[in-house]
Amino acid sequence: MIKVIYSILAGIVQGITEWLPISSTGHLILLDSFFKIDMSESFVKMFDVVIQFGSILAVVVLYFRRLNPFALSKSKEEKRETWLLWSKILVAALPAGIVGLIFDDFLDATVFSEPQRKFIVAGALFVYGIIFIVIERRNGKRHIYRIDTPEDIDFRTALGVGAFQVLALIPGTSRSGSTIIGSTIMGVSRKAAAEFSFFLAIPVMFGASLLKIVKFAAGAEGGISSAFSQSELLVLGLGTVVSFLVSLVAVKFLVGFVRRHSFECFGWYRIVLAAAVTLYFVFAK
């Protein structure tokens, strides 16, 4: 029952924080620190990444027609534009994909290992909270953007957004936060930045989830067929389903929110959370 409760909570946290620029990985690490379960550290690290797959499916469902180049209802021109959008998404995914693949083991052994990862998360939450506030105040009076839709993003801008996404390999940074910051710096509107971040998550998070599953299975005797116990499969499956359902709501919320508000409130949230978790980790016994 404890594992089931943990799985549901993790799915809720993942579904909300993946799309808001407040760091899903950071929040899951904090949840892992507060909520101790009888599972191996390697499984928990893998779980924190793989339940992102549920969030990916939510984006696919919500934007299925827009992202589907084979849709019968689309004209030839619309299909061509969809293929072009996918090519930009893949270009933007390259930097994080290459760096993540090369340095995955190094990151696991350093920034993702205890006890330093807790303080790295707190530091990243604080630093990027400041950055969000500064950028949003700079853009506060800006009403005209160079790029208003994800389809209008050119390949150079896509690659630049992808370079910013590399920053999210540090826990607590936020994948959506880093890509949104990069996009707005390069003149992309808030709504377009948020949506392109959603689309970019599909190849990046799918690749990260697949890599973690393969590495976890490779470390088990007997390979993937014996890598997971029944309880681990239950926890992983339930967390993924909950993440999917919550993400459906979170994505819609963020798109509606950025039409009327800036991202500055998320910056303040990050700063307050960073202070709270730092105090907790310093004084907790």
> Residue 2 half-sphere exposure, CB side, CA atoms within 13 Å?
6
Taking residues 49-70, what's their average pLDDT?
A: 91
Higher pLDDT pick, 224 / 87: 87
pLDDT over 70 (residue 205): yes
Higher pLDDT pick, 133 / 49: 133
pLDDT over 80 (residue 120): yes
Dig out the tokens for 248 from the structure. Answer: 């459906």
pLDDT over 90 (residue 217): no
User: Residue 155, Cα to own-chain centre: how many angstroms?
Assistant: 22
Residue 52 has a pLDDT of: 86
CA-CA distance, 21 to 211, in Å (whole number)?
24
Of 55, 45, 94, 86, which Cα lies nearest the Cα of 69? 86
**Confidence band of 79 (pLDDT split at 50, 70, 90):** very high
CA-CA distance, 107 to 283, in Å (whole number)?
27
**Confidence band of 23 (pLDDT split at 50, 70, 90):** confident
CA-CA distance, 167 to 175, in Å (whole number)?
8
**Helix or strand or coil: residue 188?**
strand
Taking residues 99-106, what's their average pLDDT?
A: 85
**Helix or strand or coil: residue 153?**
coil
CA-CA distance, 209 to 234, in Å (whole number)?
17
Residue 33 has a pLDDT of: 75
Taking residues 151-156, what's their average pLDDT?
A: 95
The widest CA-to-CA distance across the chain, in whole angstroms, is 63
229-281 pLDDT per residue, tens:
777 788 888 999 999 999 999 999 988 888 788 889 999 999 998 998 888 77
CA 72, 77, 82, 87 torsion-angle sign: positive
Sequence spans of domains, the chain = 2-283
Residue 200 has a pLDDT of: 93
28-45 pLDDT per residue, tens:
877 877 777 777 777 777
Residue 284 has a pLDDT of: 67
**Helix or strand or coil: residue 8?**
helix
**Confidence band of 226 (pLDDT split at 50, 70, 90):** low
